[in-house]
């Protein structure tokens, strides 16, 4: 039998948070000991609409929650601003953060990794928990050795706060690990409409689409002489992320540093 893991979930009423609550409820050795929400302070989780019958106190302040509740792991699925603050507070209270929230820059990750190492506890920041998305990123990194021209098209639901997506940024940085810098397109190209060529990360253009009906989708399009290669991943629902969340919770207990990206813990 696996050892019990006591968890706090931040953002339990969100698209991802709801699925994470379900995951914890359905996993035998996971116990939800508290939730941090932007409202509902003082209630029990089971009192919130649509929540399973779990007796776990709801806090509207992460610091108070961490001071009052004994936990092993914090799962954060909130907003870029709250996610960074929560990660830092969790490390201060010796609770291991598993953060799916996006919007972390490389310098945020560096600073928080130093803190995790100083405290000698594990942390995971994963821009995407879906196994297929991790493979899309890895395959893209492989392809970039052979195709140096590449653009990223990411497509998400229209409730998403950040653009470009964390996955698109991570994909660009993985590609840039193996691709020498290249300024793509015509050297004299001019944007007649601001934003028409998308955003740029070290020469890689990223285009963000936001539409109702979409969940989370990305195409990485490579171009070469007389050929193109498109690597595409689609998340049709938020359940697609949950096996990755479970893996991250189980893995973070063994770590003594911050790991950025699920690809670093997948076998």
Ligand X SMILES: O=C(O)C1=N[C@H](C(=O)O)C[C@H](O)C1
Ligand Y SMILES: NC(=O)C1=CN([C@@H]2O[C@H](COP(=O)(O)OP(=O)(O)OC[C@H]3O[C@@H](n4cnc5c(N)ncnc54)[C@H](O)[C@@H]3O)[C@@H](O)[C@H]2O)C=CC1
Binding residues for (S)-2,3,4,5-tetrahydrodipicolinate: 157, 166-167
Q: Which does 156 bind (CB under 5 to 8 A by kind): ligand X, ligand Y, none?
A: ligand X
Residue 32 is encoded by which pair of tokens? 């939800």
Those residues whose C-beta lies under 8 Å from the C-beta of residue 39, and which sit 6 or more positions away, are 60
- Which residues inside 128-147 make contact with ligand Y, applying CB under 6 A? 128-129
Assess 78 for contact with ligand Y (CB under 6 A).
yes
Kindly name the residue from 84, 156, 170, 246 that is annotated as catalytic: 156
Binding site for ligand X (CB under 6 A): 102, 127-128, 156, 160, 165-167, 216
Assess 168 for contact with ligand Y (CB under 6 A).
no
Kindly name the residue from 93, 119, 160, 205 that is annotated as catalytic: 160
Piece of 23-31, 67-75, 97-105, 188-196 that binds ligand Y (CB under 6 A): 97-105
**Cα separation, 22 vs 19, whole angstroms:** 5
**Would residue 233 show up in a list of annotated catalytic residues for this protein?**
no
Residue with tokens 């954060």: 76
Shortest approach of ligand Y to residue 15 CB, angstroms?
4
**Would residue 160 show up in a list of annotated catalytic residues for this protein?**
yes
Half-sphere exposure of 169 (CA within 13 A, CB side): 15
Sign of torsion over alpha carbons 239, 164, 11, 252: positive
**Cα separation, 168 vs 81, whole angstroms:** 19
Half-sphere exposure of 137 (CA within 13 A, CB side): 24
**Strand boundaries in 41-94, DSSP class E:** 58-59, 73-76
Shortest approach of ligand Y to residue 162 CB, angstroms?
6
- Residue numbers annotated as active site: 156, 160
Chain residues that interact with ligand Y, rule: CB under 6 A: 10-11, 13-17, 36-38, 77-79, 82, 100-102, 126-129, 162, 241
């Amino acid at each position: 039998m696996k050892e019990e893991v006591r968890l706090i979930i931040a953002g339990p009423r969100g698209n991802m948070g709801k699925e994470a609550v379900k995951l914890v409820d359905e996993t035998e050795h996971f116990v939800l000991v508290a939730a941090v929400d932007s409202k509902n302070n003082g209630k029990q989780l089971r009192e919130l609409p649509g929540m399973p019958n779990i007796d776990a106190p709801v806090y509207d302040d992460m610091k108070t929650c961490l001071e009052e509740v004994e936990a092993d792991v914090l799962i954060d699925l909130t907003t870029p601003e709250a996610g960074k603050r929560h990660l830092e507070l969790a490390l201060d209270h010796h609770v291991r953060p598993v953060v799916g929230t996006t919007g972390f820059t490389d310098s945020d990750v560096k600073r928080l990794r130093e803190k995790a190492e100083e405290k000698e506890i594990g942390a995971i920041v994963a821009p995407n928990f879906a196994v297929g998305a991790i493979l899309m990123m890895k395959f893209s990194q492989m392809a970039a050795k052979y195709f140096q021209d590449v653009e990223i098209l990411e497509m998400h639901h229209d409730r998403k706060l950040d653009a470009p997506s964390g996955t698109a940024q991570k994909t660009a940085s993985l590609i840039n690990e193996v691709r020498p810098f290249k300024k793509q397109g015509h050297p004299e190209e001019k944007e007649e409409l601001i934003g028409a060529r998308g955003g740029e990360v070290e020469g890689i253009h990223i285009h963000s689409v936001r539409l109702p009906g979409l969940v989370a989708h990305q195409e990485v399009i490579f171009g070469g002489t007389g050929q193109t290669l498109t690597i595409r991943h689609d998340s049709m629902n938020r359940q697609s992320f949950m096996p990755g969340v479970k893996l991250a919770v189980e893995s973070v207990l063994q770590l003594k540093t911050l790991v950025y990206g699920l690809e670093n813990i997948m076998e």
